[in-house]
Amino acid sequence: MEEKFDAIIVGGGIAGLSAAMTLARGNARFLLIERGEFCGAKNVSGGVLWGSDLARLVPEYWKEEGGFERFVNHRRLTFMDEGSAFSADFKSNHFDEAPYKGVTVLRAVFDAWLAEKVQEAIDASAHPDESFIATDILVEEILKEDGRVVGIRAGEESFYANCVILAEGVNNLLTRQIGLEGDYVPDDYVAVGVKEVMKLDRARLEDRFQLQGRSGLTNEFVGAGSDGVEGGGFLYTNTDSISIGLVLGLKDLKKKGKTPYDILNGFKAHPSVADMIRDAETVEYSAHVVSTGDIRALPSELFADGVMIVGEAAHLLLNAGKAIQGMDYAMRSGILAAETAMEATKLGDFTSATLSNYRKALEGSYVLKDMRSFQDAVHLLHQEQMFGPIPNMICDFGRQFFTIDSEPTEKASKMLRAAIKRHTSYWDLVKLGLKAGRSL
């Protein structure tokens, strides 16, 4: 057998690069293989990288010019019907201090920047000439000997390692190849995300959204924007562009015979959205599958002899209405798998017995804790009422409440009763309220 790496990482997205950074800092010898021309070339996110794990990987990253776009200090959740928008809006100077709790990113920029940071860590490690980031290479096969993963094959070349970290993202063909996930993924475990990046002069953008320096806004949308299809919209501010898009349930799209691009055009034309993107020019369009955050989608196990599955390859993602958390889950799982690989190197044991510590660490972290705690909220969000009747009711109430038309004014409670009657029923609302109370 050829000389072995300590680890091979398949995929140079956030999960793979986070594992690589951790291994480089731990002086491990590793090979990261990415099929894109460069890290980030093939990746799509809304995208807000939530939480503070980025500071664990790149301390004081906020002092750098590159990498992230803006930090989030202003959040908005908007309910829409055909012509109105009712928002909960929260802005706080608590979010102005680094380390930030959320930063907007453009993946082609961010992943490439993170890959540069990994290369710097390799250069500073004990084995600068024995770890590599190799791009433009597709891993086609996971190699096994005596039932244990021992390496990978890319074209004619085979590479061997003590363990393989699969960070291949949601289209996890290699995870399926080794039997940790079935070939068929139910269509309610995945959604489709469509997104445009729209360029807008920086000064105009900052003026329009009241941004200072590198501060930014995130706006999520529920209701008419998804044209009756399960899902929701998002709008995030970057340095001199806006990311706008939708995440739509595949099953519901199929059932209703609608196409994501038409729905996105309708969303962009909604009066409250059109005002925000006025004069901005579309410079990029992308579409990507994304997990729904249903915990039933997790592979049968996240490790086996010689292998660990990280990030969205393991369907680690939470979308419980407050935010899509896929990138922070990818980051933390990548870090934990790399730490387990280094522990295994010390013990000289890469069997499931040691690699199961990855699962234990993940269970102890916010990743699996939150996925378990908020499963009911994930399912609640997929109920038809959440993207039709409820936003319509909220906007109906808003329209009555904020209208002053030189007629005697009804009490707010009467307006609310009228809105409930028109769009749903007390009984449905009570049931929904109880579910929401339990799940959030």
Ligand X SMILES: Cc1cc2nc3c(=O)[nH]c(=O)nc-3n(C[C@H](O)[C@H](O)[C@H](O)COP(=O)(O)OP(=O)(O)OC[C@H]3O[C@@H](n4cnc5c(N)ncnc54)[C@H](O)[C@@H]3O)c2cc1C
Site string for ligand X, 127-146 (x = CB under 6 A): -----------xx-------
Which one among 26, 245, 299, 321 touches ligand X, defined by CB under 6 A?
245
Please identify, among the stretches 52-60, 66-74, 326-334, 355-363, the one whose residues bind ligand X according to the rule CB under 6 A.
326-334
Please identify, among the stretches 45-53, 116-124, 177-185, 375-383, the one whose residues bind ligand X according to the rule CB under 6 A.
45-53
Phi and psi at 10, nearest 5°, equal: -100, 115
Which positions ≥6 away from 116 have C-beta within 8 Å? none
Say how many C-beta atoms besides its own lie within 10 A of residue 115's C-beta. Answer: 22
- Of 324 and 393, CB closest to ligand X: 324
396 binds ligand X per the rule CB under 6 A: no
290 binds ligand X per the rule CB under 6 A: yes
Helices (H), 287-388: 327-347, 352-364, 366-373, 375-381
Question: Which of 36, 383, 336 shows the shortest CA–CA distance to 165?
Answer: 336
Length of the chain: 440
- Of 14 and 277, CB closest to ligand X: 14
Which one among 9, 23, 28, 44 touches ligand X, defined by CB under 6 A?
44
Window 269-288: residues binding ligand X (CB under 6 A)? 288
- Of 334 and 389, CB closest to ligand X: 334
Say how many C-beta atoms besides its own lie within 10 A of residue 212's C-beta. Answer: 9
102 binds ligand X per the rule CB under 6 A: no
Beta strands at 157-166 and 5-10: parallel, antiparallel or unpaired: parallel
10 binds ligand X per the rule CB under 6 A: yes
User: Binders of ligand X: how many residues, by CB under 6 A?
Assistant: 42
- Of 6 and 168, CB closest to ligand X: 168
233 binds ligand X per the rule CB under 6 A: no
Write down the least CB distance from residue 203 to ligand X, Å. 25
Distance CA 101, CA 78 (A): 21
14 binds ligand X per the rule CB under 6 A: yes
Distances (CA, A) of 323 to 47, 158, 357: 10, 40, 28
Distance CA 102, CA 392 (A): 30
Please identify, among the stretches 27-35, 118-126, 344-352, 394-402, the one whose residues bind ligand X according to the rule CB under 6 A.
27-35
Distances (CA, A) of 184 to 171, 177, 313, 394: 11, 12, 14, 39
Which one among 121, 263, 320, 330 touches ligand X, defined by CB under 6 A?
330
181 binds ligand X per the rule CB under 6 A: no
Which positions ≥6 away from 371 have C-beta within 8 Å? 293, 295, 316, 318
Q: Which residues bind ligand X (CB under 6 A)?
A: 10-16, 33-36, 42-50, 138-139, 167-169, 174, 193, 195, 245, 247, 288, 290, 311-313, 317, 324-328, 330
